[in-house]
Chain A
Amino acid sequence: MLDQVLDATIAVIIGVSSCLLYFWGTNLLLETLVRDKQTANGQIESRDELRHAIRPWLFVLPALSLLFTYLVYPVFETVWLSFHDFTGERWVGWSNYTWALANPEFLQSIGNNFLWLLVVPSLSVVFGLIVAVLADRVWWGTIAKSLIFMPMAISFVGASVIWKFVYDFRGPGSDQIGILNAIVVGLGGEPQAWITIPFWNNFFLMVILVWIQTGFAMVIFSAALRGVPKETLEAAQIDGASELKIFFLIMIPQIMSTIIVVWTTITIIVLKIFDIVLAMTNGQWETEVLANLMFDWMFRGGGDSGRGSTIAVFIMLAVIPIMAWNIRKFREEEQGR
């Protein structure tokens, strides 16, 4: 055990220090190599300009090369591979795409992903809003928010274990150890193997993500609601508006842009949803989703890079509008500065 800890520590130190060494080393190199020159007639020629031209690149080069290697190049390569066969060598045109659009598993994944897209962002936003509003009105609101926020720190796999235990199923007649079945039996119902019931099991998986993402939505909304001007709220109260009216007619419109941001953020997470499905069902009982199917094809039968890439491209296509919107919004903000 001690050996392992030692190995681990050494690995960590090497990894971290070589990164720091780069920045420190290149800076030293720049300072020594591009030094101010003393010309023949004794004048000092400043090479500040040259250093200025080089230094930014030393700063951004590691980042740019990593971004290029790990994100930019692979995006194009994936598109390229999606037009090739399973080895990635032979050009096959659109055949991976026609395969996908005729493949029942793929179509099922598309359907399920749509379900997820409809349910998870909306429920997370609704619950997040409710908690944010309620927590602002009670003295123990901070504690409540902390507890509801807590699942954000838990991994999808950890959350899957937690919820698989909630959904645990024992045959009728025996003591249920899953709380959901215990409640159902307590109310006089029949215990169910929840995650194996086609169609509805999708919702039991979605619950897990809603459970995690509500905290995220709540935190962002909480911050946004604090930005709603007090005077507006007070004026509405004096005018005799009911709490519900204030909520729907003043608060919601005021934080609409935040709601959209949260909605899109959760949408992106949902598009990539993978861990929960892999851990809970691995796509069985008609719960397949795109990311899990893609992962499956990456390794199925030695790996099919063509089909895997094609599925990835479909996920990417769904993200592109959000990407374009982000860039536009960023540009507007920059111009506003």
Chain B
Amino acid sequence: MSTSKRIRLTPGQLMVHLGLLLLVILWILPTVGLLVSSFRDKDQLAATGWWTALSTSVQNGQGRTGTSEQMVETGGKFVIAGNLLDDSKRTILTFNTNFRDLTAYKAGEVLTFKDQSQIRVEADGSYRWESEQPIEEKRGKRIFFVAESPPTFTLDNYVEVLTSEGIGQSFLNTFVVTIPATVIPITIAAFAAYAFAWMRFPGRQFLFVVVVGLLVVPLQMSLIPLLRMYNNIGALLDVSAKSYVGIWLAHTGFGLPLAIYLLRNYIRSLPRDIIESARMDGASHFQTFTRVVVPLSVPALASFTIFQFLWVWNDLLVALVFLGKGDDQIVLTSKMRELLGSRGDNWEILTSSAFISIIVPLVVFFALQRYFVRGLVAGSVKGG
């Protein structure tokens, strides 16, 4: 930070600036590509790289004039008129009937054929082919041209994925999974953490060591038994084994070790005097907890909330195992994974739905980065 005072940049400092800049560009480029692409016209997205999105692209093209059938006679002249372009986005720069020399005639100029008939092609693609004699043309004359298309940005891709690809519904489903799967573990963990920090009960030390051990247990160790258990319960009660309650509890179970660990360490570090004076005033542990400890623990609660929110929102594995694949349950990550399989080449769909799936975590992240970082630093013993 002291460098800001100096005005002159030494070569070494320049290297620092450039090196860091290079890394930052490298790191954000892939995401920028996704974001830019999601707003591009889908034909352009499929044809050119996203880094060309801002430049007007110049492409060669060709079209056919109408045939003798479309010919009309006006003012003693025979005329075939129409438009070479099938869309209004492009503008024609130059044209010719010979594809070897596309730049022979500028838009608006007149090309004279051997039979003395003349054709004029305008920038908007409209043409007028005039002749003194009736024009004999059965298939339509081929006109080659150079056209430029302006960069077009559109929300069409978003409209499409939200309406017809079912991303809107899975966005909602993700919220239904995420909110309880964040609030429930934090509530349960906060009570447990307080008990571990300030209450006396047999086995306290041992149980907490178990919690520390569970911090790193891989999810994979739990999946098969839980899947079997859920299926059995589902069969027993004659309900579906895939349910929101099921995934809330699963996320709660998997999130608890870290939550208890983080919160217990934080609550333990609160000044003993505060807890004890509350107890002296006749407050029960329940009151001490809700009125004194919870308000003081807001920073720790906030960091875990963000942590768990991001974890659940971004989770794929738990959702694949505990939720159905129907529209009423599928979450964004599962949906994305399905789209990668079924619409793997439709980048307009993939980029826009990916952006929808990452926008919420990004907002949460940038708004509450400070708390998130604090939680990470405190909890870096666990693996995600």
Q: Which residues of A line the B interface, CB within 8 A? A: 1, 4-5, 8, 11-12, 15-16, 19-20, 23, 27, 31, 51-53, 55-57, 59-60, 62-64, 66-67, 69-75, 77-78, 81, 88, 127, 130-131, 134-139, 141, 144, 146-158, 160-166, 168, 175-179, 182, 211, 214, 216, 219-220, 223, 243, 261-262, 264-269, 271-272, 274-275, 278-279, 290-291, 294-295, 298, 303, 305, 308-309, 311-313, 315-316, 319, 322-323, 326-327, 330-331
B191 in contact with A63 (CB, 8 Å): yes
B254 in contact with A70 (CB, 8 Å): yes
A153 in contact with B175 (CB, 8 Å): no
A152 in contact with B365 (CB, 8 Å): yes
Per-residue interface assignment for chain B, residues 325 to 339, with 1 indicating a CB less than 8 Å from any chain A CB and 0 otherwise: 000000011001100
Given A153-B362, A161-B351, decide whether A177 and B188 contact each other with a Cβ distance below 8 A: no
- Decide if the interface of chain A is mainly helix, strand, loop or mixed: helix
* A–B complex contacts, Cβ < 8 Å, 6 sampled: A157-B336, A214-B27, A268-B384, A312-B224, A316-B218, A323-B217
- Could you tell me the distance between the alpha carbons of A56 and B314 in the complex, rounded to whole angstroms? 34
Given A134-B19, A291-B220, A309-B224, decide whether A162 and B30 contact each other with a Cβ distance below 8 A: yes
Tell me the minimal C-beta distance from A215 to chain B in angstroms.
8
Residue in contact with B172 in the complex, picked from A4, A73, A179, CB distance below 8 Å:
A4
Tell me the minimal C-beta distance from A141 to chain B in angstroms.
8
Given A12-B180, A157-B333, A219-B373, decide whether A261 and B221 contact each other with a Cβ distance below 8 A: no
- By a CB distance below 8 angstroms, the chain A residues around B23 are 127, 130-131, 134, 144, 148
Tell me the minimal C-beta distance from A132 to chain B in angstroms.
11
- Could you tell me the distance between the alpha carbons of A243 and B13 in the complex, rounded to whole angstroms? 11
Residue in contact with A55 in the complex, picked from B33, B260, B285, B365, CB distance below 8 Å:
B285
- Decide if the interface of chain B is mainly helix, strand, loop or mixed: helix
- By a CB distance below 8 angstroms, the chain A residues around B13 are 137-138
B220 in contact with A315 (CB, 8 Å): yes
- By a CB distance below 8 angstroms, the chain B residues around A220 are 376-377, 380
B183 in contact with A19 (CB, 8 Å): yes
Kindly state whether residue B270 has any CB partner on chain A within 8 Å.
no
A56 in contact with B201 (CB, 8 Å): yes
Residue in contact with B221 in the complex, picked from A74, A130, A161, CB distance below 8 Å:
A74
- Could you tell me the distance between the alpha carbons of A327 and B313 in the complex, rounded to whole angstroms? 29
Kindly state whether residue B187 has any CB partner on chain A within 8 Å.
yes
Tell me the minimal C-beta distance from A105 to chain B in angstroms.
16
A316 in contact with B250 (CB, 8 Å): no
Tell me the minimal C-beta distance from B224 to chain A in angstroms.
5
- Could you tell me the distance between the alpha carbons of A271 and B186 in the complex, rounded to whole angstroms? 26
In chain B between 249 and 280, which residues have their CB closer than 8 angstroms to a CB of chain A?
Answer: 249-250, 252-254, 256-257, 260
- Could you tell me the distance between the alpha carbons of A309 and B225 in the complex, rounded to whole angstroms? 9
- By a CB distance below 8 angstroms, the chain B residues around A312 are 218, 220-221, 223-224
Q: Which residues of B line the A interface, CB within 8 A? A: 1, 3-4, 12-13, 16-17, 19-21, 23-24, 27-31, 33-34, 37, 45-51, 168-169, 172-173, 175-176, 179-180, 183-184, 187-189, 191-192, 194-196, 199-201, 204, 207, 209-228, 244-245, 248-250, 252-254, 256-257, 260, 284-286, 289, 310, 313-317, 320-321, 332-333, 336-337, 340, 347, 350-351, 354, 357-358, 361-362, 364-366, 369, 373, 376-377, 380-384
A158 in contact with B357 (CB, 8 Å): yes
B187 in contact with A23 (CB, 8 Å): yes
- Could you tell me the distance between the alpha carbons of A78 and B228 in the complex, rounded to whole angstroms? 11
Residue in contact with A316 in the complex, picked from B194, B217, B377, CB distance below 8 Å:
B217
- Could you tell me the distance between the alpha carbons of A262 and B384 in the complex, rounded to whole angstroms? 12
A161 in contact with B34 (CB, 8 Å): yes
- Could you tell me the distance between the alpha carbons of A316 and B250 in the complex, rounded to whole angstroms? 19
Residue in contact with B214 in the complex, picked from A51, A67, A294, A313, CB distance below 8 Å:
A67
A278 in contact with B216 (CB, 8 Å): no
Given A15-B184, A67-B256, decide whether A59 and B192 contact each other with a Cβ distance below 8 A: yes
A146 in contact with B366 (CB, 8 Å): yes
Tell me the minimal C-beta distance from B308 to chain A in angstroms.
13
A153 in contact with B384 (CB, 8 Å): no
A20 in contact with B187 (CB, 8 Å): yes
- By a CB distance below 8 angstroms, the chain A residues around B16 are 134, 137-138
